[in-house]
Amino acid sequence: MANAVTAADIGATALLEQQILTYLRTQVPQAEQLDVQTDLLEAAILDSLMVADLFVWMETQLKVKLAASDITPQNFRSVECLGRLVAGKRHKEAKVA
Amino acid sequence: MPMHWPIERQPIAPRELPYFNLHYLYGCSASSDPTMVWGTEVDAEELRSFVQQRNQCGTVLISPAHVLLVAVGRALARFPHLNCRVIRRRVHRFREISVRAITYDPRRREVEIVLVRNAHELSLEEMAKLMWKNQRKAAKGASLEHSDRRLIHRMPDFVLRWGFKAFVWMERNLRLPSIRLNRLSSAPVVVNYLGFAGAPPMRMYKPSAYPNESSHLSVTMGPIEMRPVVHNGLLAARHVAPLFVRGDHRLTDAYLLGRFVGTLRDYLANPATIEQPLAKAA
């Protein structure tokens, strides 16, 4: 049972990553070659406008509550990290509920 | 043959226009433009690696825009002659060293202005936290600008036109206390970082004119790009960024502005120095 939950979690995170990836590809012209592990900061995919935009998009479209303190280099390093952030927040919210 | 009118009969209602367009449409009347613009280039190799290094180990995401804001605050602290405001024909010093940071919301086609008080005293992390907090608010439509905007939308056009005229006239001619309406006027400088994703290389930039009706000092940095430059006597491809500073000739001259630009350029080219104690005012 525990394994099934983990697999579902992995599946959900992968789906989140795909959603974030698709969003970035539509928003940033140079994001065509982007994959989930691309360093978004190194590749200059994220500027301050894009960070704010992505932040609000994640809150509204992925339905998670984020705080300004979540804007850390660790969380915004890659699509994978962003997926992990959203999944973690959802997991916490579900626990509280 | 029917007559062709290339322009629509009805103008766009003022309430449909972004705030800054309203400002220049209805708030400005100066017949002269006492403006000088000093454009230069900053070696951004250090800046890039500084930001990358901070983002490797830091707890808040840092961007070149945050470094620029801290650098402007510190440069302004060293040039008190520029930390002033012209009201009528009198020059008044500001009590604090504050800067106005401009961010943009492309979905609403509106600028968001953040007043950063005592910018010279903030650490890079404090500046970044402050800006992210404000940008998050703005992106969610929860900033003061957004509530102002909702108010503007409810105003009849003629009230809006004359309201802008009256407000800018008062700003120019009276020493007003800081209230919500003029909360952004408490700084002599506006700072703009135009290195957004997809921005074309910047060779020339003319920030808004009429400092009498906008800002006495305007600092704009463009996108960082690889360019051929002479470095240590050799031709090399390096990361550089354009930097444009517009100054009000009623407050500054080319010598003073040049020194201010030089100081700012040094801070940006050697960003680690923005964390050192401030040197004596020029």
pLDDT in tens, B193-248: 998 877 889 998 887 766 666 788 999 999 999 999 999 999 999 999 999 999 98
* Mean pLDDT on A22-47: 84
DSSP assignment of B55-90 equals HHH-SS---HHHHHHHHHHHHHHH-GGGSEEEETTE
Q: CB distance B136–A41 less than 8 Å?
A: no
Give dist(CA A83, CA B182) in Å, integer: 41
Residue bearing the bigger pLDDT, B192 or B149: B192
* Mean pLDDT on A51-70: 88
- Residues 6+ away with beta carbon under 8 Å from B101: B65, B69, B113, B114, B116, B131, B190, B191
Residue B222 at interface with chain A, using a CB cutoff of 8 Å: no
Give the three-state DSSP class for A71. Answer: coil
Residue B263 has pLDDT above 80, yes or no: yes
* Mean pLDDT on A43-57: 84
Residue B166 has pLDDT above 50, yes or no: yes
If you count them, how many residues does chain B have?
282
At CB < 8 Å, which residues of chain A contact B? 28-30, 41-42, 44-53, 55-56, 59, 68-69, 71-73, 76
Residue B254 has pLDDT above 60, yes or no: yes
Residue B276 has pLDDT above 70, yes or no: yes
Residue B55 at interface with chain A, using a CB cutoff of 8 Å: yes
Interface mutation target, options B55, B125, B130, chain A, most CBs of A under 10 Å: B55
- pLDDT value of position B246: 93
- pLDDT value of position B260: 97
Q: Which residues of B touch A44 (CB under 8 A)?
A: 197
- pLDDT value of position A1: 42
Residue B86 at interface with chain A, using a CB cutoff of 8 Å: no
Q: CB distance B139–A29 less than 8 Å?
A: no
Average pLDDT, chain B: 86
Give dist(CA B124, CA B274) in Å, integer: 8
* Mean pLDDT on A59-71: 89
List the domain boundaries for chain B: 15-28+37-275
ipTM of the complex: 0.79
Tokens of B111: 């600028």
Note whether B65 and B124 are within 8 A (CB). no
How far, in Å, are A12, B130, B141, B227, B263 from residue A88 at the CA level? 11, 25, 26, 42, 44
Q: CB distance B197–A51 less than 8 Å?
A: no
Cβ count near A82 (within 10 Å) = 27
Location of structure tokens 């984020």: A66
Q: How far is CA B237 from the centre of its chain?
A: 29
Q: CB distance B136–A45 less than 8 Å?
A: no
Interface mutation target, options A24, A40, A47, chain B, most CBs of B under 10 Å: A47
The share of chain B scoring above pLDDT 70, in percent, equals 91
Counting one residue from chain A and one from chain B, the pairs whose CB atoms sit within 8 A come to 74
Nearest beta carbon to residue A49 from set B61, B106, B129: B106
Q: How far is A79 from chain B (nearest CA, A)?
A: 15
Q: Does the domain at residues A2-96 carry the CATH identifier 1.10.1200.10?
A: yes
For residue B70, which of B6, B124, B32 has the smallest C-alpha distance?
A: B124
Residue A89 has pLDDT above 80, yes or no: yes
- pLDDT value of position B30: 59
Residue A71 has pLDDT above 70, yes or no: yes
Nearest CA in chain B to A24: B197
Average pLDDT, chain A: 84
Give the three-state DSSP class for A34. Answer: coil
Give dist(CA B280, CA A21) in Å, integer: 49
End-to-end CA distance of chain B: 69
Strand extents, DSSP E, chain B = 35-43, 84-87, 90-93, 99-105, 110-116, 189-193, 217-221, 225-231, 234-248
Q: How far is B67 from chain A (nearest CA, A)?
A: 12
Strand extents, DSSP E, B130-184 = none
Give the three-state DSSP class for B17. Answer: coil
Lowest mean pLDDT among A69-78, B157-166, B268-277: B157-166
Q: Which CATH number fits domain B15-28+37-275: 3.40.50.300, 2.50.20.10, 3.30.559.10, 3.30.1310.10?
A: 3.30.559.10
Note whether B217 and B34 are within 8 A (CB). no
* Mean pLDDT on B168-180: 79
Q: How far is A9 from chain B (nearest CA, A)?
A: 27
Q: CB distance B136–A76 less than 8 Å?
A: no
Residue B118 has pLDDT above 80, yes or no: yes
pLDDT in tens, B45-55: 999 999 999 99
* β-pairing verdict for B110-116 and B35-43: unpaired
Q: Which residues of B touch A50 (CB under 8 A)?
A: 196-197
Residue A3 has pLDDT above 50, yes or no: no
- Residues 6+ away with beta carbon under 8 Å from B149: B19, B110
Residue A4 has pLDDT above 60, yes or no: no
Give dist(CA A85, CA B119) in Å, integer: 31
Handedness of CA A24, A30, A32, A37 (dihedral sign): negative
Q: How far is B138 from chain A (nearest CA, A)?
A: 9
